[in-house]
A and B are shown apart, each in its own frame.
Chain A
Amino acid sequence: MAASLRCFLRSGKKAVSALGQREFHKSAPVAAQVTVRDALNQAMDEELERDERVFLMGEEVAQYDGAYKVSRGLWKKYGDKRIIDTPISEMGFAGIAVGAAMAGLRPICEFMTFNFSMQAIDQVINSAAKTCYMSAGLQAVPIVFRGPNGASAGVAAQHSQCFAAWYAHCPGLKVVSPWNSEDAKGLLKSAIRDDNPVVFLENELLYGVPFEMSEEAQSKDFTIPIGKAKVERAGTHVTLVSHSRYVGYCLDAAAVLTKEGIECEVINLRTIRPMDVESIEASLMKTNHLVTVEGGWPQFGVGAEICARIMEGPAFNYLDSPVTRVTGVDIPMPYAKILEDHSLPQIKDIIFSVKKTLNV
Chain B
Amino acid sequence: MKTMLAIISNALCRMTGRNAGARVVVSRSFADFTPQATFDIKKCDLHRLEEGPPLKAELTRDQGLQYYRTMQTVRRMELKADQLYKQKIIRGFCHLYDGQEACAAGIEASINPTDHLITAYRAHGYTYTRGVSIKEILAELTGRKGGVAKGKGGSMHMYAPHFYGGNGIVGAQVPLGAGIALACQYQGNDQLCVTLYGDGAANQGQLFESFNMAALWKLPCIFICENNKYGMGTSVERASASTDYYKRGDFIPGIRVDGMDVLCVREATKFAADHCRSGKGPIIMELQTYRYHGHSMSDPGVSYRTREEIQEVRTKSDPISMLKERMLSNNMASVEEFKEIDVDIRKQVEEAAQFATSDPEPPLEDLCNHIFCNNPPLEVRGTNPWSKLKSVSKT
Contact = CB atoms under 8 A, between A and B. Distances in A.
Contacts of B172: 95, 122-123, 126-127
A100 B186 contact: yes
B126 interface: no
Interface in A74-108: 81, 84, 86-87, 89, 91-105
A141 B157 CA distance: 15
Interface in A112-133: 122-123, 126-127, 132-133
Contacts of A313: 385
Contact of B209 (A92, A134, A138): A92
A246 interface: no
Nearest to A227: B378
A89 B180 contact: no
A127 to B, nearest CB: 6
Contacts of A105: 182-183, 186-187
Contacts of B167: 127
Contacts of B153: 134-136
Contacts of B393: 137
B212 interface: yes
Q: How large is the interface on A (under 10, 10 to 19, 20 to 34, 35 or more residues)?
A: 35 or more
B343 to A, nearest CB: 33
B178 to A, nearest CB: 5
Interface in A161-202: 171-172, 174, 195-196
A214 interface: no
Contact of B164 (A89, A99, A171): A99
Nearest to A94: B175
Interface string B153-173: 100010110001101110010
B30 interface: no
A140 interface: yes
A135 B176 contact: no
A139 interface: yes
Interface in B169-209: 169, 172, 174-184, 186-187, 193, 205-206, 209
B164 A102 contact: yes
B394 interface: yes
B213 A87 contact: yes
B206 A92 contact: yes
B8 interface: no
B149 interface: yes
B39 interface: no
Contact of B178 (A81, A99, A135, A172): A99
B175 A133 contact: no
B150 interface: yes
B182 A99 contact: yes
Interface residues of B, number: 52
Given A99-B183, A312-B385, A196 B373 contact: yes
Interface stretch (B275-283, B311-319, B364-372): B364-372
A96 B219 CA distance: 11
A196 B168 contact: no
A91 B204 CA distance: 11
Contact of B186 (A81, A122, A132, A171): A81
Given A55-B186, A137-B395, A96 B169 contact: no
A274 interface: yes
B110 interface: no
A19 to B, nearest CB: 36
Contacts of B47: none
B348 interface: no
Contact of A132 (B182, B183, B371): B371
Contacts of B373: 132, 137, 140-142, 195-196
B210 interface: yes
A102 B186 contact: no
Given A93-B209, A122-B172, A195-B373, A99 B180 contact: yes
Nearest to B153: A134
B16 interface: no
Lowest 5 CB-CB distances: which A-B pairs, in order? A99-B179, A95-B175, A92-B209, A103-B183, A99-B176
Given A101-B179, A132-B370, 9 more contacts: A92-B178, A92-B210, A92-B212, A95-B175, A102-B176, A104-B183, A132-B371, A135-B149, A139-B165
13 contacts: A95-B176, A99-B183, A100-B186, A103-B116, A104-B183, A127-B169, A127-B176, A132-B370, A135-B153, A135-B370, A136-B152, A137-B393, A171-B380
Interface of A: 55, 81, 84, 86-87, 89, 91-105, 122-123, 126-127, 132-142, 171-172, 174, 195-196, 274, 312-313
